[in-house]
Amino acid sequence: MVPKIAPSILAGDHGNLSAEAERLQSWGADLIHVDIMDGLFAPNLTFGPAAVKAINKAASIPLDCHLMLQHPESFCERFLDAGADIVTVHVEAVDNETLSAIEEAVKKFSAKLGIAFKPDTSLSSIDLPAHDISMVTIMTVNPGFSGQKFMAEVVPKIREAADLFGKRQIEIEVDGGVDQSNAKMICENGATILVAGNSVLGQKDPENALKELKRLVDGS
């Protein structure tokens, strides 16, 4: 299976999200990653449901909405209603009860559920087999801002996640500092989706940067 590239629109032009979404789709992006932050769980404020709705209207590829929120269970339905195809919540912000409530909301919208882990959080911190998870996101930076340096010490956790969840056909997404210098190595350690922010939309030629990432991981 060829790994997928999910450019993060956080690194794009916030004044014209629809155009950014259209460009990413035309260049061959597999998904669009939308970072949702509340200024509490992560030290930044980003997009709300209205932005997700605009992106959804502009592009038909899946929207991967990463909810870096202190109370994701209070907001997930708003993002699902706005067009999120995947809702990813942080293990640090939920327990088994709230994750089950989010899971029910996701099923109601026929969407998919992901669970994300900060760099220092163990994969055993929640009972994942008890939930219908479609994607596990391994953060290789601390949540907050685009353009941070990839944390190489997290690579063993990528492999651990692939070994634990690959047999369940769960996607392994890696988010943070992914670029043309490390993309192939990340995929060789089991990643199936790469989130790419500054390494695509922060470049002078973002179309070529995206296509180069796709070329590098093809056949990984």
Active site residue 163: no
Residue 130 token pair: 């008890």
Please return the burial class of 122, using the count of CB atoms within 10 Å of its CB with bins 0-12, 13-18 and 19+. Answer: exposed
Neighbours of 69 (CB within 10 A): 21
Contact at 8 Å (CB) between 68 and 99?
no
Say which of 35, 38, 64, 179 is annotated catalytic: 35
Angle at CA 172, nearest 5°, toward 178 and 55?
A: 70
Cβ(89)–Cβ(115) below 8 Å:
yes
Point out the catalytic residue in the list 30, 38, 64, 175: 175
To the query of whether residue 81 is one of the catalytic residues in this protein, the response is no
Question: Would you please indicate which residues are annotated as catalytic (active-site) residues?
Answer: 35, 175
